[in-house]
Structure 1
Amino acid sequence: MSLRQIEPKQRGLLIVNSHPEGAAQTVRRTWEAIPARTDGRRPVALILGHSAGYGLATLLTGLRRHGIRGIGVAFETADTGRRTATAGWYRTAAAARLAAEAGHDIRFVNADAFSADAKSHVADLLEEHYGPVDHLIYSLAAPRRTDPGSGTVHHSVIKPLGAPYEAPALDFSGPDPKVSWARIEPGTDEETRATVAVMGGDDWNLWIRALAGRGLLAEKFTTAALTYVGSEVTAPVYRQGTIGAAKEHLEQTARDLNDSALLKEKDGRAFTVVAGAAVTQASSAIPSIALYTAFLHTVLGPRGFRTPAEQAADLWDQLEGRTPLVLDETGRIRLDGWELDDEVQDRVRELWADPQRGLEASRSGADWFMNEVRGLYGWNVDTVAYDQPAETDIPWPTPR
């Protein structure tokens, strides 16, 4: 037991502790907003990166709408006594409780998904409890990856390519949000290769081969890796930068998988899935993305800005054949039409053209963004009594 009073430790957009009850409430709110519908088959799913962002949304919507069975994998840290557990740890515990209450069969593995040991352990669990996988959702976002073959540790970077990047950014260092300017020097070839090694398709491919080697790909197996394209406003630091190079590798991996004997013999499919903008722990670390997202939310309003869970519901319905696939000319599933609508982007560019005036017109969007960031860690949740001690030593969920 570790009942103690905790307060957020925050510097700008960086928050280094989390609130267990607040994190649990954010998961419950997402869960309750998803229309329940579990008629029909209950597919076996493996969700890699289930504890945050789109991975968490895909887990919750898969359970709530399609009754998925299977395994979620994430790499989270327990309460140490000096620091709380990570928010993803608390979110996983909350998701497990909700799943158990609803009678769903889901297990959670806390491990480095990049490792060979994690792949072997997950395959063991699948063999024992579920059998072949119908859907593998790949939603890993990490700053580093150890290559399981060579032992080399690769570190990803967020940098432009070819020329420095200068753009406005949202600055939360003072009492009120303000516009600052970010300048980032271009990434080197070595940094680009390392970012591709972390965030490209190599590990996705290894997971599928590991499952295939154990006979764990179901007939008509489908796998989907989450990606992002975004606006031309942020393209220099995102789609045209080191991360963009990794995303292009991910997309090439999908094409290679579709051409592979592994998937053809199962009549399987591999997709990259282009999601729309969202406030996630990963996206909030990218310069200028916060300001862009605040402007986007101002333009669309809360009803027009689609949540990760709403987008994940569209994804599951497409993967399960309840609605037609929405594919672009390269075969990617597109969930981002609401963001890249021409009229929406024109209005965002107007705000971006004079970011200081844009921020003045988007104060509510900036406040919303900061509140969303804090909510990722379980803070600023209106139903939580933050003035009361909280139990921070929450166990990782084990199957019942």
Structure 2
Amino acid sequence: MAYIKLHSADISAAVKVGLIGAGWMGAFHAESIARRIPGAILAAVADPNVGAAEALATSLGIGKVTASADDILADPEIDAVVIASPARFHSSLITQAAAAGKHVFCEKPAGQGLEELDAALVAVEDAGIHFQIGFNRRYAVDFQAAKKDLAVGIVGQPQLLRSLTRDPGDGNIPNAGKVPSWTIFLETLIHDFDTLNWFNEGSEPVEVHAVADALVEPELRDRGFLDTAVVTVRYSNGAIAVAEASFSALYGYDIRGEVFGSKGMVQAGRATETAARRFTAGGMSADTPRLNVELFHQAYTDELADFAAQVRAKRDGTAPPSGPFTLTPGAEDARRALAMALACIESVKQGGPVAVPPLDKAGV
């Protein structure tokens, strides 16, 4: 269907972004683009649930709404798209966006299989567009501080690495029966895999050994839903890493990372919203966030600000933003993390270690 015209919008020379997917994460990204990203404009919203798209667009003063991503991809006024649709559509939408010459920011995972993702990334390379994957932890201040130390060799040779994700819960995971069985690897631990790869940059993951179970809701075990996992990763430089995840951290949203090396250690992440602590007769306490968009509010904003800056540089033929270390997660990062997640699934099925497929340079 064509755009539903809600009202006129002032479209300037800034990067004009179309949102594909008006769900919870898409809505947060939409608000960031519309209200917090200088030099970017949210120009249109697409979602098969056009009512949700209309409600989101109206709340943000956006004048173009559609039920079809095709309308956004065919719009010559739009420079770039943010893909926040269900993961099963990501690779095909990346391919379509590349064919339409639109720069792409895609939520993780960028695909559900290496073959489909490789085809999408070939399309990206052929089109010469900017592609970015939504690994937001790279943009958190404490993770960047740790990465800066690693980049200048503060910890020496990395030997042991750790990354964890604990989603808040109370022992009853909402809609758990409707969540795809391998979500803990494909959509949760995939963040930890990218963090480990980024912290150990220059080395490739070569083997994973994953153990996972339904410890929070055991009755869902037979239906294939896994809520707890631990993964051991071996890297080509000899480093050994551990990634863990749980869908029921009673105390709040908890994300942490660590690298121990020959000269020392760096840590990042915390389970509290601020560093403030309260000490009373009842003991020590601190506020903990319940949502990822609370703990990583600035990181989610900064990743889109970086995307807009990278698109402007590519569009205008200027030098892209740069810093003391690699920041922007791109095609190779998307594929490397997905390869690890898929290898973890095989490891659980086989009950032992599984080799991680190497990067196919021709495919990315």
How does the TM-score come out when normalised to structure 2?
0.26
Q: Which has the higher strand share?
A: 2
Q: Which has the higher contact order (CA 8 A, sep 6+)?
A: 1
